[in-house]
Amino acid sequence: MDIASYFNYWIVIVLMMLGFYIVIARGNLVKKLIGLNIFQTSVFILYISAGKVSDGAAPILTEGVSVYSNPLPHVLILTAIVVGIATTAVGLALVARIHEAYGTVEESQILEQDNAC
Amino acid sequence: MELLVDIALLSMLVATAVSLILVRGLVASIMLTSIYGLLSASFFVTMDAVDVAFTEAAVGAGVSPLLLLMTVALVGRVEQQPRKRHIAFPLLLVTVTGVLLIVGTLDMPPFGSADAPALQHVAPRYLQQSGEEIGIPNVVTSVLASYRAYDTLGEVLVIFTAGIAVILVLMLPGRRGSVPDDAGRQRPRNVVVNVVSKILIPFMLLFALYVQFHGEYGPGGGFQAGVIFASGIILYGLLYGLPSVCRVIPPPVVEALAALGVLLYALTGVLALLDGRPFLDYSVLATDPVTAQYLGITAIELGVGVTVASVIITIFYAFAAHLSEAQR
Amino acid sequence: MLSHLPILPVLLPLLGAPICALLRKPVAAWLFACTVALLTFAAAIALLAQTWQQGVLSYALGGWAAPWGIEYRIDLLNGLVLTLVSGMASAVLLGGRASIWRETPEEKRSLFLVAFLLCLAGLQGIAATGDAFNLFVFLEISSLSTYALVATGRDRRALVAAYNYLIMGTIGATFILIGIGFIYMLTGTLNMMDLAQRLPALTESRTAFAGFVFIIVGVCLKLALFPLHLWLPGAYTHASSMVTVFLAATATKVALYVLIRFSFSVFRLEFSTLALPLETVFLTLGIVAVFAGSLVAIYQPDLKRGLAYSSVAQIGYMVIGVGVGTVIGLQAALVHLFNHALMKGALFMALAAVVYRVGDGKFSSLRGIGREMPLTCACMLLGGLSLIGVPGTAGFISKWYLVVAVADREQWVLVALILAGSLLTAVYIWRLVETVYLGVPGPRQVPDSPAGRAEAPPGLLAVSVVLALANVYFGFDTRLPVEAASGAAESLFAAGQP
């Protein structure tokens, strides 16, 4: 097995896991959403890397070009980017309201307030 | 050369992500997110995904940091140092997931290989026949707006849902869609910023229109156009305040436009039903199949653009209304 | 129009939602939403009937043949889930107006209904599609609208519950996206039928294995299978009453459908080397879910929260059925999928009627309510009996099939555990009965609740009664769920024949 040809994927996996770590380890609700963003963006990078063809061109039909990268992952990821920003927007709206209701966006303090009553 | 760029971009991405873990303080985190978005957009360009790069640049480095900044303006920029935080469990979870992912890559076709299964099945038809069947050079647009147009309808619906959800969550008591009153609050204005932006806005709107109708030939299309158009309006809002921009484009109108964009898309599909063809079959739109595809794609891209622009403006209004309420 | 039947149960709410957003008067929006839901229900029933007669229906969206275009592929299983979801949506909308009106401020009502229709469109889209990526897109439509619906709950804890659900739901969806990406890289296709033909050749592939695991973990997050259930109790407890009824009756059911679809249709589990370990995992997690969910449910001071934990337990039963890995086991899971929607529908609907009167669902507020709202509480009692699995109710049928399926595999310990789980259910239902009928009423919070006998508003009451009676009806006339489930289970296995 050629390690070099997988190296690209493994770096992307490291990126995904860095984002995932922020989501589950951080207590600040905004930071969690940032982590989610990084996690998702890195998944997009994985998809797009998988569609790349060496010496290929962008999939816009041009005279004299015969090798193109795979257009289907591009289409899927365009949709997924939109889904990602939609989720972020809804999440941030919730965070804004949580701050109005609790006066904090730290998970531990919210939990304390909920347990107190 | 390509390899060097590749390695450089990937290392910068890793550095950004690691800094995000190390840094406390939300404004710095947002800046890093925005850098991450820009870097990944550049990476997409090196991977031949120009449409995706365009979108990621608009979303990852534009819309998403904007929304994050507005939220932080509401909730404060401090990220607290945890008193006692268990990192063992998250680390374990991340390690297990990461290992499983690496296992998953072991039988994957090597990076960049031209005989990967994904290039043997389904995709070749898009590359070889979309030129004849759809008649436009951008294969991504052909797949997105015709072969898999139903996914894109779903995508527009996701955006619409996000708009509805944000209004529902952020609606201030007792005022759906009302125009906020002028509190007479004069914001400090920087003359240079003002003048430059004022000149920029018409060009932004014009560029949005260009992107909207150019998607068949180069990268671009309804989504990117909608984001750019909305940015122009948002820039106006940031300069002259929420009340002025709400007078120019009242919130109820924007909300209605968001719904109308979805309807334009879906009803283009329904036309086919009326003629006994499957949903979203464009062939009923004209006698010549390629013209029909062109008409269908233009119509649905317009629907996408209108909904995306309206929803982003709506979300901006909702956050901005909370900001001005909080400042009061 | 008949040839377009496969798309209608999705297209109607999909078109209805933006139109509903243009109606600003809540009453108009409600009338419109009811019409849309009923039409969707009618289309789903017609579609179920058609699949019953003609078998699998395929519909090529955009006129592009699969696998190049997106395909809807409707078999009995799709038909059953589509009918169930749209039927529950109609029930909630028709009967729930009083409850929605009381629990949602006026300016939010019409948008609440838009979000509801979007959620319906999303769930129907998941249940109808034959394309793996299209499933992800519609999953996100239903999820985003669900987060918003949960957040409209009156308590501030609803916001936190919605946020937690958003985080866990998005992690789940991203896992599914990763899994779909892996199997796409191996096969080059996204169409489920096409995947099913190409995956058996790849059973040894570690990428296929990882893809499958990511999809299953992602779906189990959405399904709230123990220990991935943490979002569910908060979301069910703090969402407004009608949202809870709808989610409890449909959202987890659709997730179970996705689990079955991917395990049996796409990955053809029974031929894979994964089958044995996965069966063990499902059986273990299922039985742990039954006990953990039931035990926690017993100690809840709030009935709504108790029933939410009970849902965690009931999902356990369904997953046991899937884990048995035989046609009868799958049939048991599907029968329970149908019947549990009826039970929890009846219970949460009747509870909503009580909440309408007394303001909340705490046991302390429910004391003696049985004398004031006899009919509503009778509905709750019927739902509870069905949940335990008393003969003569739909719940008995589910338990019967499940026990038969497990006994067929000669796993007697499991049989004993399933029966013991029923006893635990009986404990928390008895607590409900004791409070409602034997408790002495305390002072009420809601000032306008009249003393003496006062049933819920007619809409809520009528739907509660219909759902409660459905529990009895399907306890005797089992043809619809059992035959549909057995047909679906057999075709899932038959499709897997090499």
Dump pLDDT digits (tens) for B181-195. 555 455 556 778 788
Q: Which of residues 218-257 of B touch A (CB under 8 A)?
A: 218-219, 223
Instruction: List % helix, strand, coil for chain B (3-state, nearest 5).
Output: 75, 0, 25
Low-confidence ranges of chain B (pLDDT < 50): 184
Shortest CA distance from A19: residue in chain C: C171
CA C249 to chain centre: 4
Inter-chain CB proximity C171 and A36 less than 8 Å: yes
Residue C21 tokens, joined: 């957003």
Query: Domain count of chain C?
Result: 1
Residue of A nearest to B30 (CA): A34
CB contact under 8 A, C156 and A91: no
* DSSP E strand boundaries for A11-113: none
- pLDDT surpasses 50 at A1: no
Q: Establish if C72 touches chain B: CB-CB under 8 angstroms.
A: no
Query: Quick check: C423 contacting A, CB < 8 Å?
Result: no
Which pLDDT belongs to residue C307? Answer: 93
Q: Please answer whether residues B317 and B251 qualify as being in contact, where contact means their C-beta atoms are separated by less than 8 angstroms.
A: yes
- Please report which confidence band the pLDDT of residue A57 belongs to, taking 50, 70 and 90 as the band edges: confident
Residues A94, C170: C-beta atoms closer than 8 Å = no
- DSSP output for B271-298: HHHHTTSPTT-GGGG-SSHHHHHHHHHH
Per the CB < 8 A criterion, the answer to whether C456 and C369 are in contact is no
Chain A hits for C160, CB-CB cut-off 8 Å, are: 98, 102, 110, 114
pLDDT in tens, A80-94: 999 999 999 999 999
Which pair of structure tokens corresponds to residue B227?
A: 């984001």
Please report the pLDDT score of residue C360 as a whole number.
83
The residue ranges of chain C whose pLDDT is under 70 are 1, 269-276, 442-453, 495-498
**Residues contacting residue C437 through CB under 8 Å, at least 6 positions apart:** C368, C370, C371, C377
How many beta carbons lie within 10 A of that of residue B128, not counting itself? 13
Q: Where are the domains of chain B?
A: 1-77, 129-328
Residues of the domain holding C130: 2-495
Residue among C1, C73, C114 with most chain B CBs within 10 A, to mutate: C114
H helix runs in C156-205, sequence order: 157-187, 192-198
Instruction: Report the DSSP beta bridge partners of residue C302.
Output: C362
Per DSSP bridges, beta strands C57-60 and C71-74 are: antiparallel
Is C186 part of the contact surface with chain A (CB cutoff 8 Å)?
no
- Tell me which long-range contacts B196-199 makes (C-beta under 8 A, separation of at least 24): B197/B235, B197/B239, B198/B239
Report the pLDDT value the prediction gives residue B167, as an integer from 0 to 100: 94
Q: Residue B171 to residues B174, B233, C477: CA-CA distances in angstroms? A: 8, 21, 47
pLDDT at B114: 81
Question: Would you say C72 and C130 are in contact if contact means Cβ atoms under 8 Å apart?
Answer: yes
Fold of A3-54+68-116: Helix Hairpins (1.10.287)
C window 341-400, beta carbon within 8 A of B: none
| C321/C257 Cα distance (integer angstroms) | 13
Which residue of B97, B139, B165 is in closest CB contact with A60? B139
Asked if A84 is an interface residue toward chain B (Cβ–Cβ < 8 A), one would say yes
Of B13, B80, B119, the CB nearest to A70: B119
pLDDT tens sequence across C79-128 = 999 999 999 999 999 999 999 999 999 889 999 999 999 999 999 999 99
- Judged by CB atoms closer than 8 Å, whether chains meet at A68 and B139 is answered as yes
Q: How high is the pLDDT of residue B2?
A: 75
Say if the ipTM goes beyond 0.90: yes
**C-alpha span between C456 and C464 (Å, rounded):** 10
The answer, for C205 touching chain A at a CB cutoff of 8 Å, is no
Q: What's C1's DSSP letter?
A: -
User: What are phi and psi for residue B81, nearest 5 degrees?
Assistant: -75, 125
Within chain C, how many helices (H) and strands (E) appear? 22, 2
pLDDT digits (tens, 9 = 90+) for A25-45: 988 999 999 999 999 999 999
Residue-level pLDDT at B220: 76
Determine whether the interchain pair B52/A34 forms a contact, defined as Cβ–Cβ distance below 8 Å: no
